[in-house]
Amino acid sequence: MRLRITTWNVNSIRIRLDLLARVVAHCRPDVLCLQETKVDNGRFPYDAVRALGFPHIHVHGQKTWHGVATLSKWPLADGRALAWCGVADCRHTVCFLPGALELHNLYVPAGGDVPDPEINPRFRHKLEMLEALTGYFVARRGDGARLLLAGDLNIAPLPTDVWNHRALLKVVSHTPVEVEALERLRRAYDFVDAVRARIPPEVKVFTWWSYRARDWRKSNRGRRLDHIWLAPALAPHLVAVEVWAEARGFDRPSDHVPVTVELDLPDAWFHGDG
């Protein structure tokens, strides 16, 4: 069975419901992981999302800031929110497609402007959250879960994940300390970076372009901040990846674009036989 999963930092779902419809029409996801929904649970646009074909919804949001939501055509089970470092900032949910997948929808802090944890509490929180996540997945390593982690991880790990490697080495999202922390997290569970499994690492790939650019296409000063990682049990089932950069050209766009993976999974997984 083919299963399509898309992650997108929507940057306020209520403002961008029309753009969400365009993303759904193009990406055709069976599961859609959204970050930065910027709305508390009671005001989430459930009816509009159901009208797009997602009857199963798990949200973890707050007013104005952060927030994640997982939308699914398949039933979701045991949806729960996870908090890290004693901060309840609505950045992580886990849901299950029964028998098939464990879905982690994650929004790592951006980290502010100064890459120094001693003077910038936002950057310190980012590093501490990555360390806590790493410990969580180290403790689970080898459990064989069909686990997929998707979201805005706010780090561009490779030199080709940014428009200029040297220029961004001291810019939050591409500093060595962040890149090393992200790699420790990836290796904690032997995750496979789905985008780089299909697109060679020497090819530049971006998923975010700043609003500050007058012409984002012309300057093309992007970064790859949005990721989908696959556990070893899932990685062999990856068949396709798409980064839909054209979405950055929408009217009133998000500064992020959708990333989609397609998996070819055994039918038995969805019927409790696998």
Asked if 118 and 126 touch (Cβ cutoff 8 Å), the reply is: no
What is the model's pLDDT at position 146? 97
Instruction: Inform me whether the pLDDT recorded for 273 exceeds 60.
Output: no
> For residue 221, which amino acid is it?
R
Residue ranges with strand state E in the chain? 2-9, 31-35, 56-60, 68-72, 77-81, 92-97, 101-107, 147-152, 192-193, 208-209, 222-223, 226-230, 238-243, 259-264
- Band (214; pLDDT cuts 50, 70, 90): confident
DSSP assignment of 1-36, as one string? -EEEEEEEE-S-TTTTHHHHHHHHHHH--SEEEEE-
Q: 108 exposed, middle or buried (CB, 10 Å; 0-12, 13-18, 19+)?
A: buried
The b/e string for 227-245 (b: 16+ C-beta within 10 A; e otherwise) is bbbbbbebbebbeebbbbb
Mean pLDDT of 104-110: 98
Of 108-122, 219-233, 260-274, the range with the lowest mean pLDDT is 260-274
For residue 31, give the CATH number of its domain: 3.60.10.10
Report the C-alpha gap between 250 and 48 in whole angstroms: 20
- Report the number of distinct structural domains present in the chain: 1
Enclosing domain of residue 114: 2-271
- If DSSP codes are grouped into helix, strand and coil, which group holds residue 51? helix
Record the pTM: 0.97
Distance CA 208, CA 216 (A): 10
Of the pLDDT bands very low, low, confident and very high (cuts 50, 70, 90), residue 270 is: confident
Dist. CA 29–CA 13, nearest whole Å = 17
